[in-house]
Amino acid sequence: MKFTRRDFLKTSTAAALASGVGLTAQAQAQAAENSTVKRWYKGNMHMHSQWSDGEPLPEYAVDWYKSRGYDFICPSDHNIFQANDLRFTSNGTKPTMTAEMKAAFKDETSLWKPMQCDKISNKLTQKFVDQARERFGADSVRIKEAGGLTFVRMKSFDELVEQFAEDGKFLLIPGFEQTGSCPDKRSVHMNFIGVRKTFKYIKKDDPVDTIRETLAAGRELYADSPFLFTANHPLWKFYDISPTALIANPDVRFFELCNNGIHRDYVGRDDAWEPEHFWDAVNAFRALADVPLLFGMGSDDRHGYPDGPATKGWTVARAARLDWPSLLEAFNAGDFYSSNGLDFADINFDGKTLSVKIDAKDDADYRIEFKGTKKNFDKTRKTIAVAAEDKKSPERLIETFSPEVGAVLETVEGTEGSYTLKADDLYVRAKIVKLPRAESQEWRTGPAAWTQPYRG
Ligand SMILES: [Zn+2]
Ligand SMILES: [Zn+2]
């Protein structure tokens, strides 16, 4: 295994602490400072299991990330939290339960999901039961027959914590994905991360209102527990969420910059917002209005769990400890990056200069692009009509933004670089890529990583 910069940080901190006895005052002060040295933690906070429409049983899904070196995850199933109370209904699975059938589950807990009882739960097949039993033993999965149906028990969040969480090594964060759509079929999905209660989807005519009211409802319901709220895969189907919706909702601090749940034809469209352009459009107007900038999350929204390495998107946060308060602090401070293959060794912003170092894992050529928007950018927003694709994707009126939004301010060939904000810059962010890359290559095909935007 290659010794990475992240490993070095871990080791150097531990060594400083271990050798703290008998040092000079200065060295002791240094050791004390090192004890709060932050390190990078890799995570994914958007994933699905059989609790909703993911393929594997929940324990297989959690193990999938843990065994691939992730430090934290949030199993974010659609409109459901993996609570202990007895249920038979999850996403799209609604078996008719007679009194006799219910009696068979007296004293049971958690979700019992019938195999192949409707279109959605066709996904719950013997294959996934066998897959979990093969990995965790024949007794690991419980099954009951009732009313001619075969029910499989899903492990609750607390049971998953018991089975997989390890202090300082692997953290499970509770949460769920609030999933629904507007009457015109625009899908508005949002993750609540750090919470255990769900609430009914708030359906509005426009995503602007759906997002605003959902966040407001969450703030009321979770008043006592700090949480993260993310606007998910804004480009999933057909112009689901426009930059305008997030410009109008500056309380939304996080969106999914990198989520592969984007319709396969989307990026090829002439009129499409590329995910980065979407991000910069929001931040250019937010910076002008002097409201908090939008941070970009990386996640894989995983439903299928193949063998082999993890690809797609993830998020790496810099925290003093692997616990929810520390991670939350990092996210709220924007001290994290999104990736689909590359890593930063360091990101530093001193109020004026953004400096980054790439954690180069091979001898490839790397490039750092500093991107941003100038104060005098062309603010024209043009409304264009985009033709209907099919019944599920009717005509849309969308706003497009100038190419001056999110321009490349400076390019550095190499693994270290910095950019000092100029008087006319609204903000700056860095994107790192590995060369060579084709001109056509974009975020979904080329390994990259993205810092958050920084303002002076
Ligand atoms: Zn979704
Ligand atoms: Zn999802």
**297-334 tens-digit pLDDT:** 999 999 999 998 887 899 999 999 999 999 999 999 99
Ligand 1 centroid vs 262 CA: distance in angstroms?
A: 10
Of residues 353, 278, 334, the one with CA closest to residue 451: 334
- Nearest ligand, CA of residue 52? 2
Residue-wise pLDDT for 211-230, tens only, equals 999 999 999 999 999 999 99
Ligand 1 centroid vs 148 CA: distance in angstroms?
A: 33
How many whole angstroms separate alpha carbon 372 and alpha carbon 442?
17
Neighbours of ion ligand 2 (CB under 5 A): 177, 301
Ligand 2 centroid vs 304 CA: distance in angstroms?
A: 11
Plot region of 168 (φ>0 → left; ψ -120 to 50 → alpha; else → beta):
left
Ligand 2 centroid vs 48 CA: distance in angstroms?
A: 6
Ligand 2 centroid vs 178 CA: distance in angstroms?
A: 9
The pLDDT value recorded for residue 392 is 79
- Nearest ligand, CA of residue 299? 2
How many whole angstroms separate alpha carbon 323 and alpha carbon 214?
26
The total number of residues shown for the chain amounts to: 456
How many whole angstroms separate alpha carbon 236 and alpha carbon 187?
8
- Nearest ligand, CA of residue 233? 1
Ligand 1 centroid vs 24 CA: distance in angstroms?
A: 55
Ligand 1 centroid vs 191 CA: distance in angstroms?
A: 8
| 232-235 LR contacts (CB < 8 Å, sep 24+) | 232/46, 232/177, 232/189, 232/190, 232/191, 232/256, 232/259, 232/261, 232/301, 233/189, 233/259, 233/261, 233/262, 233/301, 234/275, 234/278, 235/262, 235/263, 235/266, 235/272, 235/273, 235/275, 235/278
- Nearest ligand, CA of residue 48? 2
How many whole angstroms separate alpha carbon 16 and alpha carbon 34?
7
How many whole angstroms separate alpha carbon 96 and alpha carbon 93?
10
Weakly modelled stretches of the chain, pLDDT under 50: 1-22
- Nearest ligand, CA of residue 54? 2
Ligand 1 centroid vs 173 CA: distance in angstroms?
A: 18
Q: CA geometry: angle at 74 spanning 232 and 80, to 5°?
A: 75
Ligand 1 centroid vs 50 CA: distance in angstroms?
A: 15
Ligand 1 centroid vs 254 CA: distance in angstroms?
A: 15
The sign of the torsion formed by the CA atoms of 447, 444, 330, 326 equals negative
- pTM here? 0.90
How many whole angstroms separate alpha carbon 185 and alpha carbon 51?
24
71 in Cβ contact with 38 (< 8 Å): no
The pLDDT value recorded for residue 310 is 81
Ligand 2 centroid vs 302 CA: distance in angstroms?
A: 7
The pLDDT value recorded for residue 177 is 98
Give 39-82+155-450's CATH code, choosing from 3.40.50.150, 3.30.428.10, 3.40.720.10, 3.20.20.140: 3.20.20.140
Ligand 1 centroid vs 443 CA: distance in angstroms?
A: 19
Ligand 2 centroid vs 46 CA: distance in angstroms?
A: 6
44 in Cβ contact with 65 (< 8 Å): yes
The pLDDT value recorded for residue 260 is 72
> Residue 314: is it exposed, middle or buried by C-beta count within 10 angstroms (0-12/13-18/19+)?
buried
Ligand 1 centroid vs 435 CA: distance in angstroms?
A: 32
| Domain-wise residue ranges, the chain | 5-35, 39-82+155-450, 83-154
